[in-house]
Amino acid sequence: DSGVTQTPKHLITATGQRVTLRCSPRSGDLSVYWYQQSLDQGLQFLIQYYNGEERAKGNILERFSAQQFPDLHSELNLSSLELGDSALYFCASSKGGQGNTIYFGEGSWLTVV
């Protein structure tokens, strides 16, 4: 158990819909990262938050947004969903400085039908 909690574990939704993925980081970790892994693909960095503020942005679509709340949990919002958004979405956390180990949650499986 990495200590990073993600909900829901699985969800199926229709095209055009909106979903919210939730993440609770490890106790004491200030940094939260979101990654997307499509079928048979590597991990694509989406966005990073540190102590409530956006720190870095990767290949995140405009239809996607995220935030980190004062209690440090984070949410990834995916809207106007398309079939190609079907993927495993990982949340990860770390203490924040370079080289601090990044621990991953079990991921949220999103299937868009």
Partner 1 sequence: AQTVTQSQPEMSVQEAETVTLSCTYDTSESNYYLFWYKQPPSRQMILVIRQEAYKQQNATENRFSVNFQKAAKSFSLKISDSQLGDTAMYFCASPNAGNMLTFGGGTRLMVKP
Binding of partner 1 by 101 (CB under 8 A): yes
Residue closer to partner 1, measured from CB, 14 or 98:
98
Which residues in 55-84 contact partner 1 (CB under 8 A)?
55-56, 58
CB atoms under 10 Å from CB of 6, counted, come to 21
Q: How far apart are CA 4 and CA 63, in angstroms?
A: 25
Per-residue binding string, partner 1, 21-50, x by CB under 8 A, is ----------x-x---x----xx-x--x--
At residue 53's C-alpha, the angle toward residues 32 and 94, to 5°, is 25
Residue closer to partner 1, measured from CB, 10 or 14:
10
Say which amino acid occupies 45. Answer: F
